[in-house]
Structure 1
Amino acid sequence: MKNKYTLSQKENIFLAKKVLVRAIYNSARLEGINVTFPQTKTIMEGVSVSNVSVDDVQTILNLRNAWRYVLNHLKTPFDLDFAKKINGYVSYNESLDWGVLRYGNVGITDVAYQPDVPDEKEVKKQLDDLLKIENETERAITYMLWGMRSQLFWDGNKRTSTICANKILIENGNGILTVPENQLEEFNERLSAFYETNDYSKINQFLYDKCLFGIDYV
């Protein structure tokens, strides 16, 4: 896999800020939250909206705060502690526990695969190996999928993994990874198959082609 985009970090930060509302809206839709794009923007600005539940507002504000943390800590090396920090923002007041590795069993809806309870030593070893992937775009996409399938946390694994993948992309100038609403159905189908098989080849190219965005200069 080659880098689809090669931007300066300054350009990538500019891009991230430009598409932030869209990225958060996409993450909310990925979780099945029935919110519109204008409502998402209004909630992110701290203004109350009607017909959106308190829980859904909390989810959007949590995503906003997680993204803010990433953009303010691009110089902080990415590791398991960073991922825990992101989950702490993403799952705040939503999960059984947040910002810590899961310490009990969970299931994933509509798939037979059941992830093991994470062992911190083993998780760190797997993450260290993953972060040695030379190509930054491949590293980010692989992390995102690995984090989702591993279900490291009690809740918010898709959101946490996506934001962490974007941390890797932004600091290296490789674009923004977000699943557009019109790609959700195919993404969910491919993700379910990935959960069952652990076969990255059926989903990583899809993410690269359909869900990775940058600045195209003419």
Structure 2
Amino acid sequence: ILENRAVSGMKASDIQKILNLKHAWEFILDPDVIQFPSTLSLLSVLAAMINEGFYINGGEIRSVPVSIHGSAYIPPLPIKSVVLESISEIIEAEKPVIEKAIDLLLYCMKTQIFIDGNKRAVVIFANHLLLSQACGLLTVPEEKVDRFKTLLIEYYEGRDTESIRSLLKEYCWQTVD
């Protein structure tokens, strides 16, 4: 897909999601964009790119209820001023950049700011922050995906907020020496 070759046995929507991810990654790696601050505006652009071909207003703060597959947690409707303030507080906190990136990741995932594609957009957004500060990348290794999903649901439901942070920092954060 990434090399523009035909792929048999895949749904067109899955191919579109992969291409959207590719475009979003290319976007944040642009030298001008990497220098841009990690803000709700940037996250909204990423969400619009992630949702292209699926939702016309995919980068707008959602105004309808959503549910999260596998979780009893129902995120309340996000309020733009609260989201702006929360993201700013996370970015401006006096803590290491990796801690900020993890806080951004978890806050935005739990808030479910957009109608769809939140996890995909937020992973790229958190990585924008890390890359802009030359602090590595956050990627969930394939062998940790199931554990990550389980811990994320526990985080959403307020049962365990620290285990997912530990997993992200210990197994998902990659630095370049």
TM-score computed with the length of structure 1 as normaliser:
0.77
201-210 or 94-103: bigger deviation: 94-103
1:102 equivalent in alignment to 2:37: no
**Distance in 2, Cα, partners of 1:97 & 1:190:** 30
**Distance in 2, Cα, partners of 1:54 & 1:111:** 27
Q: Which amino acid aligns with 1:115?
A: P
Give the share of equivalent positions with the same residue, in percent: 32
Match of 1:202 in 2: 163
1:96–1:154 CA contact under 8 A, matched in 2: no
What are the residue-to-residue correspondences of 1:184-199 with 2, within 5 Å?
Answer: 184-197=145-158, 199=160
The more displaced of 57-66 and 114-123 is 114-123
- Which residue in 2 is equivalent to 1:214? 175
CA-atom RMSD in angstroms? 1.3
Partner of 2:124: 163
Change in Cα spacing, 1:45 to 1:141, as seen in structure 2 (3 Å) is same
User: How many pairs does the alignment contain?
Assistant: 174
Assess if the C-alpha contact under 8 Å between 2:40 and 2:87 holds in 1.
Answer: yes
Task: Say whether the 8 Å CA contact 2:151–2:160 is kept in structure 1.
Answer: no
In 1, Cα distance between equivalents of 2:54 and 2:144 = 26
CA contact (8 A) 2:154 2:161 kept: no
Counterpart among 13, 21, 46 of residue 55 in structure 1:
13
Gaps of 5+ in 1: 1-42
Give the one of 17, 31, 36 matched to 1:76. 36
